């Protein structure tokens, strides 16, 4: 995952308005010319191409066609491979050449959700935590490895009507049963099994790391290591921001990641119980000093990598986004991004999560972003 059971911890469509059909079956596509996308000429296309090249390499290794079943669209792998070869031939840093490449090699599609083109766009970032390789002192909150008894199942491998759906659990007497949820793990369900990866000093920071899916940990000797998503316990993601709104503790207009974090910090006696409403729990792997890697298995690029609903879209393809900028609702954020990640809260054909990188500015943008907007999927031209 992205990484992550990623962000949007506070902002999701209300349950009474969410469509009940599977997201992949709600996808609609309307062809558009790439050079007529809103704001197209103002982007730095060479930067977008640099972000896409690692995804292209992953697509070539997969050697699979692009299949979008609901619109009935299939792009054969030889077309994918030829497009990637053409991308490799574009001179690095040549913005005009990169722009021509996307305009001539790709067809844009306006994405809709059963015809509705506007959707929700949020942001995520790489948080920074304080940690230790040994417990003690303030370092009492464990980050866990993936447990060896955790079993994940791709249901789409068994039935076509279950494509994009997964389960996780553990085997007991030959039966798959639910894995312990967040409350059980917090109570010690995984203790004394040698599964601790690192120890951090703040339970709220650890909770938001689970939501972001990856982060930096500053260790007691001053060194920095990165951790990334390894697995999830199989329980559904629950937006605690929505629950705080329901209780009248936050308002829909002001809810954001900083607002939720602030409420948890101000109410320590209630914080654990509220966080445990989100039964989803993430396990991590250590990445060392290497780059943050998304669900496609490639390094994420700040302000160019995008998390999308993996049950709707194959990862690795460019999207043109046209959304409200997070810190200025009068400004449009229009740029070419690459679907390289996914997340538990990212559900639906018109739903995206922008990766902002790390640092205070990235945290601020990701924390407040709940923008209305639309996007356009770019796929290689074929059949002509």
Q: Does the pLDDT at position 2 exceed 50? A: no
Q: How confident is the model at residue 383 (pLDDT cuts 50, 70, 90)?
A: low
In the 8-state DSSP scheme, what is residue 249? S
CATH topology of domain 23-124+299-380: Barwin-like endoglucanases (2.40.40)
> Quick one: pLDDT at residue 141?
97
In tens, the pLDDT along 193-252 reads 999 999 999 999 999 999 888 899 999 999 999 998 899 999 999 999 999 999 999 998
> Quick one: pLDDT at residue 71?
86
> Quick one: pLDDT at residue 176?
94
In the 8-state DSSP scheme, what is residue 139? B
User: Minimal CA–CA distance to 71: which of 120, 104, 103, 107?
Assistant: 107
Q: Where are the domains of the chain?
A: 23-124+299-380, 130-288
> Quick one: pLDDT at residue 213?
84
SS3 100: helix
Cα Rg of the chain (Å, integer): 21
Q: What are the residues facing 177 on neighbouring strands?
A: 170
In tens, the pLDDT along 250-305 reads 998 888 888 999 999 999 999 999 999 999 999 999 988 878 888 898 999 999 99
Q: Is the separation of the CB atoms in 326 and 256 below 8 Å?
A: no
More confident residue, 110 or 159: 110
Q: Which token pair is 74?
A: 């299939």
Q: Does the pLDDT at position 5 exceed 50? A: no
Question: pTM of the full predicted structure?
Answer: 0.75
Same fold, 23-124+299-380 and 130-288: no
CATH topology of domain 130-288: Ribosomal Protein L25; Chain P (2.40.240)
Mean pLDDT in residue range 52-76: 92
> Quick one: pLDDT at residue 20?
61
């Amino acid at each position: 995952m992205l990484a992550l059971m990623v962000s949007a911890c506070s902002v999701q469509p209300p349950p009474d308005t969410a469509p009940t059909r599977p997201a992949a079956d709600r996808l609609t596509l309307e062809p558009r010319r790439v050079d007529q996308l809103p704001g197209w000429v103002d982007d730095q296309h060479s930067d977008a191409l640099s972000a896409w090249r690692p995804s292209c390499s992953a697509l070539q290794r997969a050697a699979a066609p692009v299949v979008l079943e609901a619109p009935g669209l299939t792009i054969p792998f030889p077309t994918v491979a030829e497009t990637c070869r053409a991308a490799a031939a574009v001179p690095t840093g040549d913005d005009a050449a990169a722009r021509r490449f996307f305009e001539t090699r790709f067809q844009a599609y306006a994405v809709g959700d059963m015809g509705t083109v506007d959707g929700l766009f949020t942001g995520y970032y790489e948080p920074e935590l304080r940690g230790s390789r040994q417990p003690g002192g303030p370092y009492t909150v464990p980050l866990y490895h993936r447990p060896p008894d955790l079993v994940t199942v791709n249901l789409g491998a068994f039935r076509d009507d279950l494509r994009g759906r997964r389960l996780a659990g553990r085997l007991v007497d030959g039966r798959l049963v639910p894995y312990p949820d967040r409350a059980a793990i917090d109570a010690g369900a995984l203790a004394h099994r040698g599964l601790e990866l690192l120890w951090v000093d703040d339970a709220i920071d650890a909770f938001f790391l689970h939501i972001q899916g990856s982060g930096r940990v500053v260790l007691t000797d001053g060194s920095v290591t990165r951790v990334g998503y390894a697995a999830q316990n199989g329980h559904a993601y629950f937006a605690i921001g929505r629950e705080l709104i329901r209780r009248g503790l936050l308002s829909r207009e002001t809810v954001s990641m900083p607002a939720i974090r602030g409420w948890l910090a101000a109410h320590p006696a209630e914080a654990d119980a509220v966080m445990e409403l989100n039964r989803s729990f993430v396990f991590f792997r250590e990445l060392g000093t290497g780059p943050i890697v998304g669900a496609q298995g490639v390094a994420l690029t700040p302000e160019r990598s995008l998390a999308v609903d993996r049950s709707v879209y194959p990862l690795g393809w460019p999207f043109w986004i046209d959304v409200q900028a997070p810190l200025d609702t009068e400004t449009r954020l229009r740029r070419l991004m690459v679907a390289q990640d996914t997340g538990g809260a990212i559900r639906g054909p018109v739903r995206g999560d922008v990766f902002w990188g790390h640092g205070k500015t990235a945290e601020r943008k990701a924390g407040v972003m709940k923008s209305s907007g639309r996007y356009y999927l770019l796929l290689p031209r074929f059949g002509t």
